[in-house]
Copies of this chain bind each other. A is one copy, B any other.
Amino acid sequence: MTPDSAPRTYSISELSRMFEVTPRTIRFYEQEGLLEPQRRGQTRIYHDKDRVRLKLTLRGKRLGFSLAEIREVIELYDALPDGNARQLRRLLELLAEKRANLQRQEEDIRLMRKELDDVEGRCREALLALAENAEG
């Protein structure tokens, strides 16, 4: 029997390598309220919770959300178990917004793919034309 798996921790440079961001970025996210690492002396110690938050944050960024938006969701989520009804409704509102956003993005992706297909088609035609001229 293995004992309760030791709650792993991470240094800032470890996290920074895991996600390919700089330590500066990680500290900046903390300053913006997205991470809340422990301290040992003045040194930051990150737990899995922080790692997950960082992952979510970066994913949110790739999807075009601002750090402020991401923070609002995280804050409301953290206050969730004992949140008041107003906060909870606000969170549901936010979630609906994000969903709508995702849906539009999916549509945008679909359209963009079509355009890429079109461009690629023309591009390959042009290449073929070049080849024929060279050979003919």
Which A residues are within 8 Å of any B CB, using their own CB? 56, 59-60, 62-64, 73, 77, 80-81, 83-85, 88-89, 91-92, 95, 98-99, 102, 104-106, 108-109, 111-113, 115-116, 119-120, 122-124, 126-127, 130
Contact = CB atoms under 8 A, between A and B. Distances in A.
Contacts of A120: 92, 95
Contacts of A63: 64, 105, 108-109, 112
Oligomeric state, in number of copies? 2
A102 to B, nearest CB: 5
9 contacts: A60-B112, A63-B112, A80-B119, A81-B126, A84-B130, A85-B127, A102-B109, A102-B113, A106-B106
Which label, helix, strand, loop or mixed, suits the secondary structure of the A interface? helix
A56 B115 contact: yes
A54 to B, nearest CB: 14
A115 to B, nearest CB: 7
A130 B91 CA distance: 15
Contact of A85 (B56, B111, B130): B130
A52 to B, nearest CB: 10
Contacts of A108: 59, 62-63
